[in-house]
Every structure is written in structure tokens, then in C-alpha cells.
Structure 1
């Protein structure tokens, strides 16, 4: 920095040292006391003194003013927060002619401040505030630091005259809606921003900003004094704000810089800072995050309540008369209102009737401010006696029988009515599932599953999943599926098998709420088996009649099968947008259809439809112009297992590519976009060669594709006929769409197989950040099938690029052949199943060595 008489280097060094020492003292005091206010106010006071000293040292003109705005204007500075300043100048003042302004701003940075600043006159401030609600908000918290009091007073007067409280509130509501949209309209993100996400500090600050704009006050006690919140609500706001303050302070101190996101990297460290220990069933980070989510839910509830009360107070009186709905409720505009404010006190059952009314009158968009407040206060009246009353149990069941179900359930969850009525549900509110494929808390996941089921029953969404819609609309009492969805994960986090624990909860609920024996049995069956169909479809060989026979023995009836299929599709789709794909949809539908045939009395061979499948394949060949019996030279080399594992369309495609060269001298590689609408299908036909499966896995891994399904077949004359389904889960190949990769794969893979180089050693792919912090314990299970001729191998591990190649490479070294591979990726978790053969599998010593080598290959 250029030295000037006004900025001697010793002054800068002294102020920098004062800042460093002062912050260290404040942080030490905080670590000893945990007093957030002392730290936040203390840092603001420390910065105040340094800025005023600097202003004085430079001899700034007396007509200028230094003003703190934003969070600094509130007198709160977090350990790594920036400092928002306004350099207020008189009208007509030209900052360019005052070199000391430039010097001052440079010194801010030299001393060590992270400064956001503006230089404006009072009029310019108002003009900018009119255009930008963010500037208007920052000015509401303006605080005088040093300089001209007269100029600061002028700013305050102009701002007060320009502030329209109702207009300001409306603008902040729009801003909040946009902010919510940026954070996917949920407080329950895996890695929420404790400042900006729904339920974060911004939701509390918007209340105080609106209160300031209305001239009501500067803290929660002022709001209580004006009747906007009750004394109890004020206490809740204070506690919620204190938790967020503590969280953000500890986050800044842990990271050592400004960071407001609760990333996986920091969650365990923050949990330790809060002295939160792991439990028998949950990690410390999960305990922390449930506390955060519940606090965020409370903040969103209070934000809605207080902002709506503010709006009601600012809005002009309603000119139209309320529309009477019944003796208890009326509508004011599109909001539901209580006719008697004491209704819930005299008739607690009206709490549930309120939601029933809203479901039946879907034109209602919400509740009036006074109704919200009374409902919020009445929620605690839902106790054991309330739950035992037959009238209330009947009302609760009716809620699930209405068309507009999901909005009602979400409101009931938002305002703690659902958790009060079902204490088991209340325990999983805000409970995160750190399994790397659920992206919602347990309660929000349940809401998503019910939403998905409800959409199956709505003609407007028939285009999404027409088969599910057809099944749902023909299913009697489909509201029973909503009950099953409500309970399917309700026992998460208790320890033990949540399906069995949830089954017991569901059975007690159904019996207590008057469901028939048949209805109760269906709900209990679904809760107990909600994971079964997914496991069978994605991990077992659906061409094996024994697999279908065993699954049919579990479901027993067509009604059970249909209900389980619908719940399974809704459940998988409700875990994460990344988990569901069309391939999983096809597997589930294939399992449904073939099991339905078995339940209808078809024999095993009839059930597979082998003859019909071959005839359909022949028809497809004729459709493509091939003559009759052209398939015979190829098909004579294909055994029954091939026809069982492939559908008619695949058989016809393979035949069209190979019928004229069943003994091709060179590898044949053909690829096409997947007929089910997503991904690629690749066929490889070549004289069998060592390490072929591993080589193919390595090639696809280099391209960045994930293998979702592999069918490995060796013909009677020693040719490998292998089929793969490929996806690009990370979408990093968007610049090369699937169809543009076809020619590349067909050429390069064929060349690779003509003269195969030595098999490369696996390279450990780069792990995602989530996997680094939530690794999956690798597991390998190998067991003989019922005939004892083949072995089923299941692996579980953290997913990473090249994982399947590492497995295939290990199997190759042990001389193990792969017949089928089913690849299941659940977020960052891989659960893959293989049908394998090999001499080492029948000997205990070599089998143990194989398992050990596989576990080593699976390690992250």
C-alpha cells in the first residue's frame, strides 16, 4: 500500500493486530461460556471501534457518515461474516474528488476485513431501495457508526417516508418464495444451508424486517407486546433463533471461513461441538440433523403464522361477507376460517374435521391467520384420550378416503397434528436416513410415497405411469394403500427390522380404527413385505421358475400382488429422483406379469411363455423382412436358458444381427438406444475368450457408463453372446448423446476384442464426497442355489467408477465365470447380484480366499 500521512503503516499494523487479538479473545470466551450473544455483539463492537479509529486517523470530512447495514447493522457479526458498510455522502458530493474514500476502502482490506460497501447519498439510497428489495432491507437495519448525525437522520427520515409496510411485506414474501424454490422448497435437504434454506435464519429475519417496516419493534418481546405472537410463541422463537445462532457460529469456527452449508464434511464435527453422541442406532450427525430439521420445521411454522398475522393486520378489511360452509367453518376469500374462535376448546374433534373440510373444498388455499393460531395452540390437546375416541378414529380414517389427500396430510404434518395423533410418526419427523439414496427425512419420504400412490389414482397423471394408473383405478378401497404407505417406514431408527416393527404398529392401528380383518391383513402384509418385490426384481433371476414360484408363495393372491407392485413403485420413486429409472420399472413390471400368470394357475413352462416368446420373435423377424426359418442356423446353438432370459424383442434383435453369421470369425458388436426409452443396449458375439466379462466391464467403465444389467451366455458351439444395459447416471456424457455413442462402441469394442491386450489392473475411481463421509461397509455373500450347480453372489459396497470392473477382474483371477449380473445402484450404494460358476466355489478354502479378495476389491 502506498504510504500517506493519513495512513501510517504502524497504525494499520496496530489495528490489524487489535482485530486479530480481539477476535481470539472473543472466540476463547465463547468456547468457555457458549454465549452466542456475547460473541456476536462483541465482534460487532470490536469492529465498530477499529472502523471509528480508522475514520478518525484518516481525518475523514465531517459531512460524511459511516453506516453499518445488514447483519452488521443489527449489531451481530458471526466469526467469518463479511462486513456491510454504507459510506453516506451529501447530495451532489462527488466521491472521485475525495481521495481519502479510496484510501479508506483499501485500508479495510489491509486490516483484514471482508467488506461489502457502497457510496451513496440519502436520495440515491432511497432510489436504489425502490428498485431492489435487498437494499431496502439492508437499510432498515442501518446503524450509525461515525460522522455526520444530521446526514444519518436524513436517511432515516427519507426511508421511513418511502416505506410502505404492506408493499414491503409482499416483496419479502415473493423473495422468500424464490429463495425456497432455490432450495427445492424443503427444509429437509441432506446438506441444508442454515442461513438460506427454508427453516433457516432468513425465515426468522424476514419476520423482524417486516416488523421494523411496520414500526412494531426490534425483537420478539416487541412482537408479543403488539399481539403478533403469544408469550409462548415468543419463547419458541427465541429458542429456535438461539439454536441457529449456535449452529452457525460453530460451523464458522470449525471450517475457519464463511460457510453456512451443513455439508457432510462438517456434520460429525458440529455434532461433537454440540456434545451430541451417537446412539445405538444413529450416528452423532444423524442426531444433530434431526434436531436441525425439527428446529427448521418449527421456524417455517412460526414464519407462516407470524407473517400471515402481519399481513392480516396490514390488509384493508374484507368487503365481502364470509361464505358459510357449515355450522363450524366459513370461508373468507380462499381461506378457511373458524366461525367460533373457541371451537377447538369445546370440540377437540373439530381439529380433524377442519382438515376434512379443506380436503372436500379444494378451492381453499389455506387458513386465516386467527385459525392458524388457534390450530397451532390446540395441537397439544391431541392426547391419549383424544386418540381413543371412536369419533376421532373414524374422522382420521375418512381423511384417507378423500380425493385431495396429500395436501391435507402435509398440512397436518407441518402443524404437528399428524405427529400428535400418531406418536410413532412424530418420532420419525425430521429423522434423516444417511443411506445415501434417501434424500428426504423419513416423514417427508412417507409423504412422497403417498403422493406417488395418489397420482396413480388420478386420471390427470395417467400419462406418467399408465400401467400403474390402470391397476390403481381398478383396485377396490385403494385408500388402504395410503395407510400402508403411512406405516411402511414408521419404525425407522428404532433398531431391529423396521418392516417387522412397522407391521406390529400397522396391525394395532387397523384394529383400533375399525378396519375389517381382510383390510387389516392387506395393510399388515404390505408393511411387512414392502421391500420384497424390489429385492426379487432387482437381484434375482426372473427367468428362473423357482424364483417366481417362491415370490408367488409370498404374495399368495392377485390383490396382494397388485397392491405390493403399486406400493413398491411409489416407494422407489419416493426415495430420490436419481434412484428410479425405466430399467427398474421394467424389472418390476416383468415380475408382476409373470407372477400374475403363476397365480392364475399357469405351469412353470407355460408361465415363462417359452413357445409363445419364440413365436413372437419369429413374427418380429417376418416384420423386418426376414424369410421363414432363417433363424434356425443360429437358434440350434442356443439352449433353453437363453430363451428364458431374453424377451422376444431381444431375441429378434440378436437374430437379425447374427442369423447369417452364426460362426462369425471376428467379434460382432452391436449397440442401440434402449427400447424402453433410456440408456443403451449392447450385444457382443464372439468366440469365447478368457476374461471376456472383465474386459467388457473395463471398457464400459472407461466410457463412464454404469452397467445396470448383464446377461452372459455361452452357446453350444463355444461363442459368447453377452447383452448389456448401460446408463450414464452422472449425465457427464451429455455432449455425446446415447445415439452418438453407438458407432464408437461398435467399432472400438470390436477392435479391442480382435486382439485383446493383457487385462489391466483395476484403478480405484474417485469417490464422491458423500461416500467419503458415509462409507458403506463392504459385504460379500456367496451361496449355492437350490440345485447346487450354480452359485448366487451378492455384494454391497459404496459405489464408485470402475467398481464392477474390480469385481469382474477378481472373479477372472479365480477362474469364476459370470452367467448373469444384476446391478442395483441406490444413490451412492451398490447392491449387485451375480449368478456364477467355477471350481473354486465348491471348496471351502478357495471360496474363503475369493471372498477375502472380493472384500479387498470393494474397499473404498
Structure 2
């Protein structure tokens, strides 16, 4: 394939084939093994020199991905040609070859396309006319040993022409690899023979089967990789919208039309020139990213993890902008390219449908559910909404919104060629952005009782969504550089809208019984859907996105057609959309002032219902595994406590009445005699009865009844309602007890998500911890629980140095170091009437809770409860504390010292962990 590398400048600086070949030819000796060893050393030096040059070019021109990948393939090509000539002419010369003693070396797969990242496999194939001769076996074996000695990772095969045809017919993977076969060296006539047989015996009349196989393979790969192109740590090669999807388009085009280069897809009508430019741009960018990934890691790494994103953003010369870091800008560009690949795939499928799909069926697309009666000028093409003419949108730009509204209303798909036209004409939406009709149609889609998520995703893919709502365009493909958010902002938002629709339709009743039950009571339905759309609209602008988003809502809602009252509701929801989760996960809900402060902001039962539902879908849409039973329980507890205050204006029962009611319920549940129950009540302080829910009270009571005069007793059981394990420790109370227990639980492999600390009237501690494993599941295996109990016993008995065991624990998230998190300690005496509330933000790491608790111990304070929330790499630990006499801490000097110690602990600075 002459001309494959003509675009590479100064090829001889990568490798001078003639010079290397002449040096190898000058080697003396006749022993094949020794000669191969010496030649391999010279080839290895040329390989290293060439790689250094390719790397230098990549650093100098970091965005030229196709040039870098071609340069790598060129280097391997030249080495193979030198080695082939040396092996066939010097090691195993054949003066008079027979017709059967011919050999061709081909490049296949990505290497056949002349695209290789620095540590890609070298995929090669040896072809012989028939069964391998002894000469061919010796040549192939010698070359493979030399290539392995060079340190190359080979994907290799040796086939006769008959075997090639047979295997290609039987295995679509082999067929795909051979589809991109490229001649490297050897017998050219044999290569031409192989190429002709592949086209006539394998390709001919099998296009439909090949297309179906490749699309099925693509769908399976997407499912494996998470079936979205907007995961924040994408796989550049295998992920949805990545290189493999681009390759699949080229393979199909090549299989059908026998094109040699992607540019030829324009000539055969599969792409317009503009679409090919987008294809080329995405291909070039992804190749660059992949080359940088391999270069930085020194291995075939295709996953763009957080720790690598920052370095590649630097390498590719992205820069910071107000409100958006260079890594976020780099990743936004990445996702825009992935989005482009999705759009191009849709166009491709349209052409395949027209030409190759069997009558009445379409590749990978569902059949129409029903035919709409009214199309408003649009037409149906094989069950899909299509345009009657190419200028249909230009004649009336409002149709760019109407096509999506009709698709939702009638439950039909949009024809990919109509999507192509919508993407092309999306800018025309600018002229109707303020049209009441267009806004009413958009609001119909957003608040659809059917499947708004699907249609909004189509709008986003076509670029119409961002054009119609420019504020939304600013968050399209925008990632959030943290380990908490799994998706880009636009993908998160669209998923949240889909979750809201499923809650309204009762589909998620089992997961969200409370939200499903109260949805029927919600009056401001339209406001809720718009609030979900806008809750993160101001991310990446610098400043508090909740406050800025409320300003956007005030401006946008009237345009959408919302009333002033609805606009006020949306703006309030956007402004306070983080309030409920922050209160539930970071504050003590048994402290009545927490509920009163929350209700002061919420002010009405309707807002409470709206806020709960918005909070749930916001958390659920963050990513898989983020929502759990613990969060459901806390949000439910807060909702019920707040609803009672908002409905009645006050708590129905005072503190003494609530305690008495809990004790009455507990007495009934236990069935104890009056004397035994009175003894229990007398031992436990008032705060204990307020803080603990009734099921924990019952469990604690039964546990305490078995301890008698024990100085230490430990109980652990799964607490299904909270998705965690309840660990109760009964021990003689003494200073430092909490931080020792926290350290021991971590040594045993557990994560504390909540803790309540109580002291009986006779000086014993009753501490309840909710514990999960590192994956957010209950800590419940027998081996885990046994380790847990042993670790706590050892820590409290001071057996072994706890500090050393904690230091030896590995990081819970190995990539957390990629994030800059400045530790912060907030001390608040207004959040509670009885306690000083301390909130610490820090990077999550081993023993953080233990170190913070130790800092509080050194500050001579009493911890009454601890609440742990993690957001990816960030931990937020909240403590309710008093001084040793039970009063809030108010002295300025003491508060300063407390804050300084907590900041040091949060930063991981040396703190004495020993007893």
C-alpha cells in the first residue's frame, strides 16, 4: 500500500531503513541464532530511537493523534521489512523457491489501518499459498522470536489461503481483522491472491450479516462499558462514542463499498463532507488522547482515569478559564467528540436501513408501536417521523421543536436523516427561542407523562436542546472533576428527569415508596420538572451554582410559559436543592433545632414534597451505587419530622412526651416486668431516648440485658432498613474511647457512616455505630464481623499499636490523590441549642475519622454523635460536641485551638494516635 505514510514529515528521522539494513547486512558470521541475536540488538536500538522521536513529535504537537499513531505504525513497518529481508535472505536464503515456498507478511486490525498507540499490540499475519513448508516454518519462527526479543506484544497468525478463507467465514472477529489487512512485505502476488479471495469468497453477498454482527457486537460492548458515552472516566477505545465506534463505521463502509480510507465514505454517500470532517476531527482527537495515555502510563492503557485526565489536559495545552479548570475543559471537549460519534452513527444507520435492512425491519431499532393520525406536515417513513422535504425546518424553524413533541406524543422514533437535518439546521432555533408556541411545545416534552428522558436525549444529540436553551448548552458534555459524579452535567440532568417521570408513573414505588406516595399530592408538577432541568444549570460558572441557577430560573421560567408563582417555586427549588441532603446527611436529626432550622427555610408542605422528590432524583442520577437504604431512611426521617412541624406549626409532642411515648412503646415490645424495665430507664440518659429510633432502642435493651456486669461487650447485626450493620459497643466509658473504636473499625475494613455516643448514669458507654464495607454494603460476613470484634477488643485493651495498623491500611480510593481538596473546619454554635456542631471537609483517606476524633479527644471535648458523608473523594464528617461539663464551647481561644487541631488532622499532619 504505497502512499499510506506519505503524509508523515521527515520519515527518516523516525527510522532510516536503508541505514539500519546496511548495518545489519554488515554483520559477520554464519550461525543463524547468533546472527539473529546481533540483528535483534540493532533493531532494538532502532526501535528505541524511533519511539523517542515519535514521543518527541507527540509532545511538540500534542493534538496530532493520527500523525502520532501513523508514525508508530511506520516505525513497526520498517522494522518488519528489515527483519523479513534479513531472515529470508541472510538466515534462511532460498535460491530457487518453488511455487509453494512463498510467504507474505500482512498487517491486520488497527495496525493494518496504520494506527498504533505506543504500546498497542502488533497484529500481523503470515500467509502461505498452501500448507506451510519447512522453510516458511523456520522463517516465521525466527521472526517471531526476534519480535518477542524486541519486547513487542504480538497478535500473530499463520494461515494458508484456504485456512484464511475458512476462518474468516466462520469468525466475524477474524473477518474484521482481515478486512483491514495491509501488505507489509513478502510476495506481492500472494497478497493480491489473498485479497481477491477474501473479496470474492468472504465479503461477497454477506454485507447484511456482517452489519448485523458488528452492530450486535457494538451493543454488547456498550452494555459492558455502562451504555452511556458520558461516564466521567471513559474508555477511549471501547467506551460508547469512542474509537471502536468510529472503527465500526469504517469497517461497515469498507465491507460494503471496499473503501480504503475513511475519506472515501463521502464519495460513496455515507457521509457529507461536513460529517466526514467531524469524523476525522473525533478520530484525530481520540488517537491523540490514546497515544498520551500509553505514553504516560508506559502500557496499553485505554481508560481515561481522573489521575491521567489532569496530565493529559496539561500535555494537550488546555488552560483554565473562569469557573472551569483546564481538566474540565479538556473532558468537555472529549465528551463533545463522543457525542459527535453518536450523531454520525445515527446517520450511518439510516443509510444502512435504506439499503440493507430486510423489508419491515431495521438494524437494532424497535418497530413502531402505533401510527399517529396527525403529523402536522411531517411524514412517516417505515414507522419513523421524517421530513417531506429537505428544507422543511428552514420553512418554519418551530418545527425543530415540534418534531420532538410529536415523537413523544405519538411514541414514534425520528428518522436518522431527519435528525441529521435537525442537527444541520439547529441554529435556526435561535429565531424562535422566544416564541410562545415553541416554548409550549418544549414544555410539553419536558413534562411529558410518557418518557421525557428519551426525547430530551434525542434533542440533545441533535444539538437543538442547547440551541433552544443556551444556558443548557453551557453544561452539555461538561464533566465535574470529582469521584462522586459519574456523568456529565447534561447526562445527569436528563437522567434525573427520567427518574422523576418513573417515580410519577409508579415504576419506582419499591425503591421510593415515600416519594411515590406523595407525588399525587404535588400541585406544582410543571415547576418540579423545570426545577429538575435547571437545578445544575449554572455549574462551571464560578460561584455557588445554586444561587446562580436561581437567577437563571427567574429569567427562563417566564419564557417557558410558567406563571409568576411557578417561577418563584422553581427559583426557590434550584436555590435550595442541596438543603435537604445536607441536613439529612450532615446533621443530627434527633436535635429538634435541626428540624426547626430546616423548616424555617422550607416554610410549606408543598415545598417540602417538591424538595424531597428533587433531592431523590438528584442523588439517584449521580450514578450507580450512590443511592442506598441509609440515605432513603435519613431523608424519610427528615421529611416526616419536618412535615409534622409544617403541618401543625410545632412538634406534636414536647421532649418529655416524646421520651415517654418511646418508653411506652419499648415496654410493650419487650414485655419485661416493671422492675427490670424501670432499671433500664433509670440507667439511660434523656438524650439517649431522643436520639435513637425505636427499633434500635429495642435491640439495645435486649443486648444490655445480656451484658450483666461485663466490662466490654460487642454486638453486630445487619440493619436492613439502613443498608448497613449496626455495631453496638458496651464498655467502661473513658476519654478517647470513640477514636479508638473508630480506628479499630477501620482496621477491620469497615466504614463508619453514623455514630451515636451515650453514657449511662453508672459510667458505662453505649455506642451505636452504623458500618458499611468499602462498597457501601452491610458489613455482614462472619469473617468480617469476627475481625471487627477482635480489632475493637485489641484497641480498647491497647494490644498492638493502633497507629501502626492504621498507617498500614491502603487508600480506599487509589485515585483520590488526583484531586486538590483544601481541608476546612467549620465550628457552629447556632445549629443546635445544646451542642457545638463541628463540620470538617477533607480528602477521604484511611483513618480520617479516627484522626479527627483524636483531635477532639486532645481538645478535651465530649462527642455526642458523629455523622459521616462521603462524596467520591471528599469526606464531610460532622460532630456534635460539648465540653466535659456538658456545655457548648464558646470561648474564642478554645474554638481557635479546636479548629487548628481539626485542620491538622484533616490534612493528615502528624497527630499522636497512640494512647
Report the TM-score, using the length of structure 1 for normalisation: 0.93
Call closer, same or farther: CA 1:331–1:288 in 2, change over 3 Å.
same
Call closer, same or farther: CA 1:141–1:275 in 2, change over 3 Å.
same
Tell me the residue number matched to 2:765: 720
Q: Is the 8 A contact 1:480 1:519 kept in 2?
A: yes
Judge which range, 664-673 or 293-302, deviates more: 664-673
Shift of 1:42: 3.7
Tell me the residue number matched to 1:11: 39
Call closer, same or farther: CA 1:556–1:157 in 2, change over 3 Å.
same
2:573 maps to 1:531? no
Whole-Å Cα distance in 2 between the matches of residues 844 and 125 of structure 1? Answer: 82
Q: Residues 460-539 of structure 1: matches in 2 within 5 Å? A: 460-539=507-586
Shift of 1:699: 1.9
Q: Residues 532-611 of structure 1: matches in 2 within 5 Å? A: 532-601=579-648, 603-604=650-651, 606-607=652-653, 611=657
Tell me the residue number matched to 2:827: 782
Whole-Å Cα distance in 1 between the matches of residues 58 and 695 of structure 2? Answer: 69
Shift of 1:207: 1.3
Shift of 1:664: 3.5
Whole-Å Cα distance in 1 between the matches of residues 292 and 442 of structure 2? Answer: 43
Shift of 1:503: 0.5
Give the SS at the match of 1:84: strand
Q: CA offsets per residue over residues 297-353 of structure 1, 9 Å max, x none?
A: 111211222233234222356699995642433444443333444321222212222
Whole-Å Cα distance in 1 between the matches of residues 545 and 709 of structure 2? Answer: 54
Whole-Å Cα distance in 1 between the matches of residues 459 and 671 of structure 2? Answer: 61
Q: Residues 92-171 of structure 1: matches in 2 within 5 Å? A: 92-93=131-132, 98-161=137-200, 162-163=202-203, 164-171=206-213
Call closer, same or farther: CA 1:677–1:538 in 2, change over 3 Å.
closer
Whole-Å Cα distance in 2 between the matches of residues 36 and 254 of structure 1? Answer: 15
**Quick one: which of 222, 235, 238 aligns to 1:193?**
235
Q: Is the 8 A contact 1:617 1:652 kept in 2?
A: no
2:429 maps to 1:382? yes
Q: Is the 8 A contact 1:597 1:607 kept in 2?
A: no
**Quick one: which of 255, 272, 285 aligns to 2:297?**
255
Q: CA offsets per residue over residues 645-680 of structure 1, 9 Å max, x none?
A: 11222222222333587x745334332211415221
Give the SS at the match of 1:631: helix
Judge which range, 416-425 or 121-130, deviates more: 121-130
Whole-Å Cα distance in 2 between the matches of residues 797 and 550 of structure 1? Answer: 25
Q: CA offsets per residue over residues 748-779 of structure 1, 9 Å max, x none?
A: 746865x5559843734433222111142111
Q: Is the 8 A contact 1:823 1:832 kept in 2?
A: yes
Judge which range, 128-137 or 322-331, deviates more: 322-331
Tell me the residue number matched to 1:44: 73
2:708 maps to 1:680? no
Call closer, same or farther: CA 1:187–1:628 in 2, change over 3 Å.
same
Call closer, same or farther: CA 1:316–1:643 in 2, change over 3 Å.
closer
Q: Is the 8 A contact 2:867 2:877 kept in 1?
A: yes
Give the SS at the match of 2:111: helix
Whole-Å Cα distance in 1 between the matches of residues 389 and 526 of structure 2? Answer: 32
Tell me the residue number matched to 1:409: 456
Give the SS at the match of 1:579: coil
Tell me the residue number matched to 1:354: 403
Shift of 1:588: 0.9
Call closer, same or farther: CA 1:855–1:268 in 2, change over 3 Å.
same
Tell me the residue number matched to 1:800: 845
Q: Residues 286-297 of structure 1: matches in 2 within 5 Å? A: 286-297=328-339
2:894 maps to 1:851? no
Call closer, same or farther: CA 1:790–1:465 in 2, change over 3 Å.
closer
Tell me the residue number matched to 2:19: none
**Quick one: which of 109, 113, 123 aligns to 1:84?**
123
Tell me the residue number matched to 2:260: 218
Call closer, same or farther: CA 1:126–1:672 in 2, change over 3 Å.
same
Whole-Å Cα distance in 1 between the matches of residues 159 and 296 of structure 2? Answer: 37
Q: CA offsets per residue over residues 709-741 of structure 1, 9 Å max, x none?
A: 11112233333222111111337x99x834665
**Quick one: which of 40, 61, 70 aligns to 2:109?**
70
**Quick one: which of 737, 756, 775 aligns to 2:780?**
737
Q: Is the 8 A contact 2:821 2:842 kept in 1?
A: yes
Q: CA offsets per residue over residues 774-808 of structure 1, 9 Å max, x none?
A: 14211112232477753111101111222111111
Give the SS at the match of 2:648: coil
Q: Is the 8 A contact 2:685 2:759 kept in 1?
A: no
Whole-Å Cα distance in 2 between the matches of residues 229 and 787 of structure 1? Answer: 65
Give the SS at the match of 1:460: coil
Q: CA offsets per residue over residues 473-495 of structure 1, 9 Å max, x none?
A: 33234242221011001000101
Q: Residues 618-657 of structure 1: matches in 2 within 5 Å? A: 618-628=664-674, 630-657=676-703
Q: Is the 8 A contact 1:671 1:745 kept in 2?
A: no
Whole-Å Cα distance in 2 between the matches of residues 784 and 477 of structure 1? Answer: 36
Judge which range, 333-342 or 122-131, deviates more: 333-342
Shift of 1:809: 1.6
Tell me the residue number matched to 2:23: none
Q: Is the 8 A contact 1:613 1:647 kept in 2?
A: no
Q: Is the 8 A contact 1:673 1:739 kept in 2?
A: no
Give the SS at the match of 1:146: strand
Tell me the residue number matched to 2:391: 342
Whole-Å Cα distance in 1 between the matches of residues 526 and 669 of structure 2? Answer: 45
Call closer, same or farther: CA 1:147–1:747 in 2, change over 3 Å.
closer
Call closer, same or farther: CA 1:721–1:376 in 2, change over 3 Å.
same
Structure 1 runs not aligned, ≥5 long: none
Shift of 1:628: 4.7
Call closer, same or farther: CA 1:745–1:258 in 2, change over 3 Å.
closer
Shift of 1:172: 0.9
Whole-Å Cα distance in 1 between the matches of residues 518 and 300 of structure 2? Answer: 52
Judge which range, 91-100 or 224-233, deviates more: 91-100
Tell me the residue number matched to 1:206: 248
Call closer, same or farther: CA 1:135–1:609 in 2, change over 3 Å.
farther
Call closer, same or farther: CA 1:6–1:143 in 2, change over 3 Å.
farther
Shift of 1:145: 2.1
Give the SS at the match of 1:459: coil
Judge which range, 830-839 or 468-477, deviates more: 468-477
Tell me the residue number matched to 1:307: 349
Shift of 1:2: 12
Call closer, same or farther: CA 1:86–1:565 in 2, change over 3 Å.
same
Whole-Å Cα distance in 1 between the matches of residues 641 and 343 of structure 2? Answer: 48
Whole-Å Cα distance in 2 between the matches of residues 260 and 682 of structure 1? Answer: 42
Q: Is the 8 A contact 1:791 1:835 kept in 2?
A: yes
Aligned residues: 852
Q: Is the 8 A contact 2:757 2:863 kept in 1?
A: yes
Tell me the residue number matched to 2:414: 367
Structure 2 runs not aligned, ≥5 long: 1-28, 362-366, 909-915
Whole-Å Cα distance in 1 between the matches of residues 215 and 170 of structure 2? Answer: 16
Tell me the residue number matched to 1:58: 87
Q: Is the 8 A contact 1:799 1:828 kept in 2?
A: yes
Call closer, same or farther: CA 1:781–1:313 in 2, change over 3 Å.
same
Judge which range, 116-125 or 244-253, deviates more: 244-253
